[in-house]
Structure 1
Amino acid sequence: MLNTITLVWVYDREMSSSEWSLDVARELWGLNHSIRGDTITVDDEGYLAISIGGSSVRIKDVMEKYGFDVAYIRVLPLIGKAMRLVYETFTELARIHGFKGGLQPVFPMKVNPIDIVIDAIWRYGEKYGWGFNTGSIGELELLSKYAGKGPRILVYDGVLSDNVARILEGFREKGWRVVVDVESEHDLDILSKHPELEVGLRIKPLFKPGGKWAHSAGLEGKFGLTVNTLVKLREEYKWIEERARLLHVHAGSQIYKWSDVEAFINEVYNIYVQLTANGFSRLELVDPGGGLAYPYLDTRSGSIESPDYTVVDYFNHMLRVFSRLDKHPVLVYEGGRYIVAAHRIVVAKVVDVRPYSAEQLSSTGTSVVEDVLRGVRTIRDLKAVLKEYRRLIHRGSQGQQYTLEERELAEDLVSKIREEVVLKLSELLRAEPSSVDEVINDPFLYKLATSPSKRYILNLSIFADIPDSVLVNQYFQVAPVQRLNEKPDVVAVLGDLTCDSMGEIGEYVSHVRMHVKADDWFTRMDLRLVMAPYKRLKLGGVPLHLPVKGENYYVAILDTGAYQDPLTMKHNLIYGAPEIIMDEVDGEPKIEVVERNGKYL
């Protein structure tokens, strides 16, 4: 039997004529996307490019032009595109449903309060009257430079103080509409001294949606009043009925199941109906919070990274429900993640490629494994062989003694399983593609087939540049910036420059929604399974190419524009990547470079 290296080379030659296409590449690397899909594109030569104002700029060219090994690329028109998508979707559905209440969008500044983002929200949101939602004095101070530029709406959440109330009154005096959410008796005490400020009622829902932030909703959640508490406070603060204009109910962030969103909207509607019928008749604004999920992977699979609904579903149900009323309220849109996530890309150069495992290949006993695998004809045969091998290893780990032959088999399994068994697995699946479900449904085979073979070291810091990857295991889509017209060579874990073991990206979701021949399901060099048509696969690493000698090979981490900027850390004192800011001025792309003082490599 040919050795592993020769087999891989033969396979590569045989598959060189397979029908790999850019359409397959876009699916594999998650580039078919409802928000960024026609802005972050793949050109005809397989380069990841950014299209602005009718022009296309290759990310690789920009990185090499400025000599950057790491950079944040900000595509500001993507913020405007997301805002337009939200507003136009609402407007069209409101027309269909005969809804007369209107839309009041606000941007929650906690999502990304840096100057350039707030300025983009202000500029792109001018035509829609896009307001702001704040919750700290620092956010108010940042926003104050816009106070005299024209009136917007400002919704303030959080614990109020006399100092904050005075700042809010300053906005009101300049023509802004200011609404302060009430969450406690403390807030009412402060507001009683500032009668010009309008009041929002932040109410806790009974329903608790799923997701990473589910703990922030429900009766035990951090935000809001229970209805029971509100009824009691109304007895002491009788003016609250007169001044209450807004109902705000918090659902949590990134609600990815449509059934949860639907149930939550229904509860918000019920709360509004009950409050307006019981003394709070002047409520005119309804804010269902920021639960609309951003599609980090836009395949509608109903998973944590890919919601099973769209902004169309979101507004369609909300408008259907609230249009039942005789008097329609104004609906507040507060989904900040949806607006800014796509605009920021982290791009980093691969500075080193290492084996993922420390295992050393040995020829000792190799023929034993090869002889056994030669007789394997089906996935079932392979599972039976692996079961026996695992039994031998398990027996040894329990302190039992191996015979010399058994030890030879066990050692051979450890050193060769990822080469010979994965090779056999790819041969079987290419011969009988319909057996892929047997692999997917077998945890051991599935792990082998999708495991990484390489570790790529990137010139970045996960903690500094995409901290949510560590903090909440947030999924971010990753794609190479070049050679997308080629099949990936390997599955690789991405490691950063830090000395922390958590500084890695080792999870990748492949969900290819098109027919692809079985020959193209596998990487070229390590023969990992990276796709199966219409199947959602969770890989142990990212499908990438092996850099050739002298090549600057870059990787892009997409959709990092929400929360990552304000959460960036100084872990290992690696922070402050340079920024490449892309905008559109008079229909033409404009590129500005902002150097930072961060030290990477």
Structure 2
Amino acid sequence: MTFPISQLDQSVGVAGQPPHDEAEDWTSRHGAELYGIREWGAGYFDVNEAGEVTVVATINGKKISVSLTDIVEGMRERGMEMPVVLRVENLLDDRIRTLNEAFAKAIRDAGYRNVYRGVFPIKVNQQCHVIEEIANFGARFHHGLEAGSKAELLIALSHIQDQESLIICNGYKDSEFIEMGLYAVQMGLKCFFVVETLAEVPIIIERSRTMGVKPLIGVRLKLSTKVDGHWAEDSGDQSLFGLTPSQLIDVVDALKAADMLDSLQLLHTHLGSQIPNIRNIRSGVLEACRYYCSLVEEGAAMGYLDLGGGLAVDYDGTKSSSTHSMNYSISEYCADIVEAVLETLDSNDIPHPVIITESGRATVAYSSLLLFNILDVRQSERVELPKTLPDDTHELIANLKSVLENARVENLQECFNDAVYYRDEIAELFRHGQLGLRERALGDMYHRAVLTKIARLLPAARRVSQELEVLPELLCDIYYGNFSVFQSLPDTWAIDQLLPIMPIRRLDEQPDRQAILADLTCDCDGKIDHFANPNGPLRTLSLHPLVEGEEYHLAVFLVGAYQETLGDLHNLFGDTNVVSVRIHEEGGFEFAREFRGDCIFDVLSYVEYHPQNLLEKFRRTAEKAVQQGQISASVRKSVVDAFSASLNGYTYFER
């Protein structure tokens, strides 16, 4: 049988589309609500009446909004290709200010008799201009840096000049590491060695005696407090880092024996970088305070309590204790810490210590976002079905048609089972040559039509099986983005991190496509198929159809923490372009810094190729083609020139 599938009588669209009759009333407010930008944006992002995402900076108490579309247009005019990491200096400045002022207020309100000192863990974002901005914006608050390696210590030493700011040295420390820290102490800097293992103690003692420098020593304690969220398995007694109580005693005894117990001035604990539940934080602080009191009783000088990281980011806007959220505000976080420390130490008549936190994620997450353009879309086929079936239509196809016609809310699972069975039978007959290509295609069309109808009826069903629950995802479009998950958003792949993603314009238009995102890599993991939303994580993202001749840009928000540092070179997609903007009080903005991303020459060098050698090898291949009469000498010049130009090109798709 041959069948002209162009004869049509109905069209069944993709599941999950918003009702068409709402489109006329759609406004930018609906767009903001759909993506939850006012829930997860923390006041830093919004949508204007033109349907464009805006960045909101507070300058001298005045809120200034700048359209991301205008910023992207400025990039285009300057020849900056997508993808781009956009940094907004004002937001980083505001996060540092917010944290320090919240602690200052909590200290005043509670009558706490000491100060707060923040430190930024360099590992969270090691980029030079980020550290420079943190050092600059944090100077007025004596905001310091935390280093976990020799390289990071050198960064800290080159950026901290203020003798009130702290440098906290975590991680494993050899003699060279300790010597550099002791030099910092000699220069009047407050550089603390936080003991992670017993093996570090004799090195610190020996180096400090040899150099004649009194060290500033801290100890990292492994708390028994467990936390909720992604890091639950690594918290408590099973934590990879920190000293046990018995090891803590060993450190105290070793310092006593060396007559250096007065150098022990700091206790450090760390429960994780994203603690969603405030109760975990308060429990950890109370436990840390008990150990602090015990160290004072042992004769240690003390004076500093470093409570590590944990201040969370509300990635999904739910304001809950879920992994990707937080059930507290910054002001509540600060107040709970200050009150817990004050109450515990007052009851033991111990002076209040300097409170330190190492809030990295919450400091930098908001100030960076990834921008990329959509290159192509693989649309979920709109199933076009024939008006009538020929008399000789195979009964399996007729059965599928019957399933489609009889699908109701009451029999969704039965219809799904039947559709899958008939589809598989048709495929089997095709494999054995008993059905032709057109019959095979028609069977697929009816099968997809059944699934699409089931997906549309799902919201009305009381109970839905897992296989039906995922139908909207199976029927969605794939939007191919000009980016690499592995380079720019590694946490979405490595730890299933949810990040807010949305188009930067057309938010006054109702999106009518449901999609997942795929990157440029040739890897099945190079996709994003779970999306943050205040109503709970989504398997698909609502997007607009592409308009010919217009770029469609998406933004991934809250990517300032860890993403660049952890990114890798999968498929040799390198660092993206980076633009740093500064918003001005009068409403304008400037491109404060521009950093070109890796070119192909760069990434080849990273994996031990010598690009000039590659060029020479290719030149010889082209010359051989000339000698064999396959190309002319002039063509040879063109192809060699093209190869050479490619070496200096961007690793991502260029228009």
> TM-score, normalized by length of structure 2?
0.77
**1:591 matched to 2:597:** no
**1:45 matched to 2:50:** yes
Match of 1:4 in 2: 11
Give the Å deviation of 1:413: 8.5
Instruction: State the SS of the aligned residue for 2:323.
Output: coil
Distance 1:203 1:372, change over 3 A: same
Instruction: State the SS of the aligned residue for 2:487.
Output: helix
Among 271, 295, 305, which residue is 2:291 paired with? 271
Does the aligned pair in 2 maintain the 1:41–1:49 contact within 8 Å?
yes
- C-alpha separation between the residues in 1 aligned to 2:187 and 2:366? 33
Among 201, 208, 224, which residue is 2:226 paired with? 208
Match of 1:353 in 2: 377
Among 446, 471, 481, which residue is 2:504 paired with? 481
- 1:199-224 per-residue CA deviation (whole Å, 9 max, x = no partner) reads 11111111232333344433332211
Give the Å deviation of 1:551: 1.2
Distance 1:147 1:548, change over 3 A: closer
Match of 2:550 in 1: 551
Match of 1:305 in 2: 324
RMSD over aligned Cα atoms: 3.5
| More divergent stretch after superposition (318-327 vs 235-244) | 235-244
Distance 1:423 1:388, change over 3 A: closer
- Structure 1 counterpart of 2:595, one-letter code: V
- Structure 2 counterpart of 1:145, one-letter code: S
**1:226 matched to 2:227:** no
**1:460 matched to 2:486:** no
Q: How does 1:504-543 map to 2 (within 5 A)?
A: 504-512=527-535, 536-539=536-539, 541-543=540-542
- C-alpha separation between the residues in 1 aligned to 2:336 and 2:485? 38
Does the aligned pair in 1 maintain the 2:218–2:265 contact within 8 Å?
yes
Instruction: State the SS of the aligned residue for 2:365.
Output: helix
- Structure 2 counterpart of 1:478, one-letter code: I
Instruction: State the SS of the aligned residue for 1:272.
Output: helix
Match of 1:64 in 2: 76
| More divergent stretch after superposition (44-53 vs 564-573) | 44-53
- Structure 1 counterpart of 2:44, one-letter code: T
Instruction: State the SS of the aligned residue for 1:50.
Output: strand
| More divergent stretch after superposition (58-67 vs 39-48) | 58-67
Give the Å deviation of 1:390: 5.8
Does the aligned pair in 1 maintain the 2:196–2:243 contact within 8 Å?
yes
- Structure 1 counterpart of 2:546, one-letter code: P
Distance 1:427 1:384, change over 3 A: closer
| More divergent stretch after superposition (308-317 vs 39-48) | 308-317
Does the aligned pair in 2 maintain the 1:392–1:410 contact within 8 Å?
no
- C-alpha separation between the residues in 2 aligned to 1:241 and 1:107? 27
- C-alpha separation between the residues in 2 aligned to 1:230 and 1:37? 40
Q: How does 1:245-394 map to 2 (within 5 A)?
A: 245-277=265-297, 279-324=298-343, 325-326=345-346, 327-355=351-379, 363=386, 372=403, 379-386=409-416, 389=419
- Structure 1 counterpart of 2:52, one-letter code: Y
Among 16, 27, 37, which residue is 2:23 paired with? 16
Give the Å deviation of 1:394: 9.2
Distance 1:577 1:205, change over 3 A: same
- Structure 1 counterpart of 2:368, one-letter code: R
Give the Å deviation of 1:180: 0.8
Give the Å deviation of 1:428: 7.5
Match of 2:253 in 1: 235
Match of 2:640 in 1: none
Instruction: State the SS of the aligned residue for 1:300.
Output: coil
- C-alpha separation between the residues in 2 aligned to 1:182 and 1:390? 61
Give the Å deviation of 1:496: 1.1
Give the Å deviation of 1:267: 2.0
Distance 1:321 1:203, change over 3 A: same
- 1:395-441 per-residue CA deviation (whole Å, 9 max, x = no partner) reads 99999xxxx9xxxx999896446545544654685xxxxx47x36x6
Distance 1:354 1:134, change over 3 A: same
Does the aligned pair in 2 maintain the 1:155–1:180 contact within 8 Å?
yes
* Count of equivalent residues: 560
Unpaired runs of 5+ in structure 1? 430-434, 513-535
User: Which of structures 1 and 2 has the bigger CA Rg?
Assistant: 2
- 1:359-388 per-residue CA deviation (whole Å, 9 max, x = no partner) reads 9876577775565555556x3343454355
Distance 1:558 1:335, change over 3 A: same
Does the aligned pair in 1 maintain the 2:277–2:327 contact within 8 Å?
yes
Unpaired runs of 5+ in structure 2? 1-7, 390-395, 600-649
Give the Å deviation of 1:242: 1.9
Match of 1:94 in 2: 107
| More divergent stretch after superposition (135-144 vs 24-33) | 24-33
- Structure 1 counterpart of 2:412, one-letter code: L
- C-alpha separation between the residues in 2 aligned to 1:7 and 1:315? 47
Does the aligned pair in 1 maintain the 2:161–2:189 contact within 8 Å?
no
Q: How does 1:84-233 map to 2 (within 5 A)?
A: 84-148=97-161, 151-193=164-206, 194=208, 195-233=213-251
- C-alpha separation between the residues in 2 aligned to 1:568 and 1:13? 40
- C-alpha separation between the residues in 1 aligned to 2:113 and 2:446? 68
- Structure 2 counterpart of 1:66, one-letter code: R
Match of 1:528 in 2: none
- Structure 1 counterpart of 2:567, one-letter code: T
| More divergent stretch after superposition (543-552 vs 42-51) | 42-51
Give the Å deviation of 1:172: 2.2
- C-alpha separation between the residues in 2 aligned to 1:268 and 1:418? 59
- Structure 2 counterpart of 1:551, one-letter code: E
- C-alpha separation between the residues in 1 aligned to 2:252 and 2:428? 68
- 1:29-53 per-residue CA deviation (whole Å, 9 max, x = no partner) reads 231146x443332221111233445
Instruction: State the SS of the aligned residue for 2:238.
Output: coil
Distance 1:111 1:380, change over 3 A: same
- C-alpha separation between the residues in 2 aligned to 1:230 and 1:191? 16
Instruction: State the SS of the aligned residue for 1:509.
Output: coil
| More divergent stretch after superposition (124-133 vs 586-595) | 586-595
Match of 1:432 in 2: none
Does the aligned pair in 1 maintain the 2:229–2:275 contact within 8 Å?
yes
- C-alpha separation between the residues in 1 aligned to 2:424 and 2:272? 45
| More divergent stretch after superposition (190-199 vs 364-373) | 364-373
